[in-house]
Structure formats: C-alpha cells, structure tokens
Amino acid sequence: MSTWLNELGVACALGVGKDAVAEALFTGDRSRVRATSGWIPSREIPLAAVDGALPALPPTLAATRDNRNNRLLYAAALEIEAPIRAAIARYGSARIGVVIGTSTTGIDEACQGIARFRSDGAWPDDYRYAHQELGASAEFLAEWLELGGPCFGISTACTSGARALLSARRLLRMGVCDAVLCGGADTLAGLPINGFFALEALDANGCRPFARTRGGITIGEAAALFLVTREPGSVALLGGGASSDAYHMSSPDPQGLGAVEAMRAALADAGVVPEQIDYVNLHGTGTEHNDAMESLAMTTLFPHGVPCSSTKSLTGHTLGAAGALEAAFCWLALRDGRLPPHAWDGDADPALPPLRFAAVGDRLPTAGPRRLLSSSFAFGGNNAALVLGDGA
C-alpha cells in the first residue's frame, strides 16, 4: 500500500514557504547561519534562526497555546491550509491524524516562566506547563483544525521528524486514518543551546560537516509539515527503516552498524538496491564522531559512490525537526530536479572515507524513476532512514 506525501509546508532559516526555501537551498546559501548573542553569557555563537515575525495564533488558541514552536509550526501549516481543509471535508475530521516530532516544544517559554518564579516567587500569568509537553505541538494543530483522529508527539531526539513520517504511514496502512498531518518542529531555546555548549559540541565557526577542521554542530530551528494520504501524488514515501544500536548515550557506534541497518531496512522496504538511489541526504552534523561513523556507513552501503550532501551547514541542526526538514528537501529535489549542495570549504578530512558530495548546479536524472534516501541518527543510538521517490 503506497503512502503519498501530497502537500508540504515548510519554514526554516532558509525562508518561509517552499519556493523561498528551495531558492536558498539549491544555491547553497550559507548566509542564514549568523553569529548571535544573548543565548550564552558573554558569547556570540552561530545559530540558524527563522527571520521575521511569525504569524499570530488564532485568538481562540492564543491564551493556551501561544509559544514560538507552535507559531513556527503554524507558519508551515498555513502554507497548506487549503488542501488540509479539503482533506477534512473529504474524509471527515475523525479520520485525520496528527503526528509531530519534536525535542523541546515550548521549553524556552517554560524556562522563562521558571526563571521568573525563582526570582519573584510567583508564576507569571502566561506560564503554562503544557507548553513543554512533548505532544503539545500535535495537540495545537488538532485543536486549531478540530480534528478527532489519533494525535500524538514523537520525541526520539534527532530522528523525531523522520519517525513521525513512519508513524503516519503506519496509521494509514492500519486503516486507522485516511490522512495524517505529520512532520517535525523545534525552535531555538536556551536549554538545548547551553546543553550543547556545555558538551563542547558547538562549532564556533559554523557547522562544516566532513571538513578537516570541523568542530561540531550549529543549532537551527524549523518546522516541516506533510499532508500524507493513500491518494496518488507526485512524491511517494517508498520505504522506511529504523534501528537502535544503543551503543552510547550520545556517541554513535563508530562502525556505523546501526546506521547501515536502518538504511538497509529502508531500501528493502522500498524494494530497491543501493545502486538505484540517486541521492542521499546525510545526517552530517559536523561532529567528529558522527561524520566518521556516517562516512564509514555510507561507503559500506554505497561502495560505488552516490551523490550526497549534508544540508545542516545551511539550516543548522534543527534537532527534533531535522528528519522531517531533510525529507522536505528531498521532496523539493524531486519537484525541482535539483540536488541540495554540500556547502562547505571543500577541505575534506583525509582520515574519513571519501564521499561524492553534490555541488551547486547538480541535478537529478531526467528519466525516472528517481529514488532519494534521507538518513537521521540520534542520541542513544536511535537511527532512521526514509526513501522518497517519484509518484504518479
């Protein structure tokens, strides 16, 4: 039973809306990663923030659901509101589910409220504990759209957005839903930014995946939302795979065994072999351990080489949204026939197995079927991979 990614709404540092994002993505625009102050005392760090004001939530939800994470998700949802409303009219609200991957939801607003309580001895009027609940973003969408289908959040660190797509497909295959809104959303927040800083995992010069001088991640924010159905469309979710090697709390299995297992499972689920993959969107965080593991996993599975890139030098690592955002980039690549470039200084780490990085101007084959793989790896050895391809 096929699963179709019929509609996409997206907002990230590259822009708000598919066309703005695509223009910056395919030209390799790294200007959206900027030195930013105010998050870590007495320091500027590179971050990838969404520029400009985000849309205000509907008045009926503003009192209980207003936080930056929901506003960013709302911006993505507004881009596809018309087809969402059409799906509600067609299938009925009880047959439409919501699955959103996230890692922090509204934790920044919650932390600000806790700080006020510690300083003043009283909670601020706008403090809502529910902002930080991991299902809060999914519940916000369901309340706004008055949906009655399954509604839940997924938080598996940096695979959350990818696993949301896998869960949506499962709901469709089980016959529980006729359509699912799924994806991921995470916004900049003091807790993860300072946490990664304490781990010495932030690159002071901006994320440079697989580079000789790479020094860690850059944190970004994003929301990517798909309307997924069984109705044929132009982009299909052909396969998915997941694994959990549980090698270490924060470091991946250095041999990449769990990563290879997840990617192989996705290929088998899609009914394709590695030689049929036209492009791989790498997890590519820019950390020493991830890039070493992933380059080894890639050469294990694709010894013949395959065009690939990490887009995190453009968008930052968007944490719980990353898997959905990078699936969105594959969706845009299939739509436009262009490959997301690997935007970096070109100085590869000679200690890593060489990869075939895509450059600005590279394109997908003109003749189909075209098959793209997007991989995501997370703390605790959690791995996920998706195969997207041409649809009807």
Instruction: Cite the active site residues.
Output: 158, 283, 317
How distant is the alpha carbon of residue 157 from its chain centre?
A: 11
Beta-bridge partner residues of 229: 4, 179
- The residue type at 177: C
d(CA 158, CA 41): 26
d(CA 344, CA 289): 18
- Within 8 A by CB and 6+ apart from 259, the residues are 243, 252, 253, 293, 294, 297, 375, 377, 383
Quick one: residue 41, left, alpha or beta (phi over 0 = left, psi -120 to 50 = alpha)? beta
Contact 320, 188 (CB under 8 A): no
Contact 144, 137 (CB under 8 A): no
Which of 59, 9, 3, 1 is closest to 332 using CA atoms? 9
What does the block give as tokens for 125? 């009027």
- Within 8 A by CB and 6+ apart from 252, the residues are 245, 258, 259, 289, 290, 293, 294, 377, 381
Whether a cis peptide bond, with omega within 30° of 0, leads into 369 is yes
Q: 302-316 burial string, b = 16+ CB within 10 Å, else e?
A: beeebbbbbbbbbbb
